[in-house]
Amino acid sequence: MLRAAQHNVLNYLISPLSTSSVANFQQEVEAAVEALLFQQIILYPTDTVWGVGCDAEVPRAVERLYKLKERPEGKPSIVLVADLDMLRRYVAEVPDGLEQALVEQTRPTTYILSANHRLAPQLLAPDGTVGLRIPQDEFCHKLVRRLGHGVVSTSANRAGEPTPATYVAVDPKLVRAVDHVVGWRQEDVASVAPSRVVRFGADGQLEVVRE
């Protein structure tokens, strides 16, 4: 079941890159990974909207990101992980139905799960949970896998401002405030929505938190 779940998630990533784009893609991934390794904040395209992020295991970086976004304390953020193995690194327990849910999902879905001690504490909700997602996007997936840690994924806007679906919709002030701007997919014009958010109820069934 584990292999089937991973195959299904990766099977509906964005189409493979053309040969002419491979070199630029690799350069963008490596530059973003380097910034994250230096505990910097990046502006990058996620599998949903444009986001700002940092290494999810570095509290100091997360604190800087929250100040940049003017995000209220106690408000958790989503963390992107490469696969089920990395997801297991951050949770106290994997629900019985998670692998099947991954097999059946057809859109970006964030799962609220009980977290352990490895994530920066600012990322957790008051009840000790965190939102984790395996991204459906070739850039995000490669970024997280190369880093080897979860990457914070929070929308590229300050608190109370509109969520930018495309790079051109990001506030220029925020662009200047981050440490590194990813050049990949800046020309995208398609409007996308934030991920679906779900959690497992006491009966083990999925409950939709945000559709």
42-45: strand order across its sheet: 180-181, 42-45, 50-53, 151-155, 78-80, 129-133, 109-114, 196-200, 206-210
13 has pLDDT over 90? no
pLDDT digits (tens, 9 = 90+) for 41-68: 999 999 999 999 999 999 999 999 999 9
If phi over 0 gives left and psi between -120 and 50 gives alpha, with beta otherwise, what is residue 50? beta
Q: What is the pLDDT of residue 19?
A: 43
Q: Which string of DSSP letters, residue by residue, matches 74-130? A: T---EEE-SSHHHHHHHBS---TTHHHHHHH--S-EEEEEEB-TTS-GGGS-TTSEE
* pTM recorded for the entire structure: 0.90
Q: What is the pLDDT of residue 21?
A: 77
208 has pLDDT over 90? yes
Q: Using pLDDT thresholds of 50, 70 and 90, give the confidence band for residue 171.
A: very high
CATH numbers and ranges of domains, the chain: 2-14+35-210 (3.90.870.10)
Cβ neighbours of residue 185 under 8 Å, at least 6 residues apart? 45, 139, 167
Mean pLDDT of the chain: 91
Q: What is the pLDDT of residue 184?
A: 96
Bridge-based pairing state of the strands 78-80 and 151-155: antiparallel
**Percent of the chain with pLDDT strictly greater than 70:** 91
Q: What is the pLDDT of residue 12?
A: 42
pLDDT digits (tens, 9 = 90+) for 97-155: 999 999 999 999 999 999 999 999 999 999 999 999 999 899 999 999 999 999 999 99
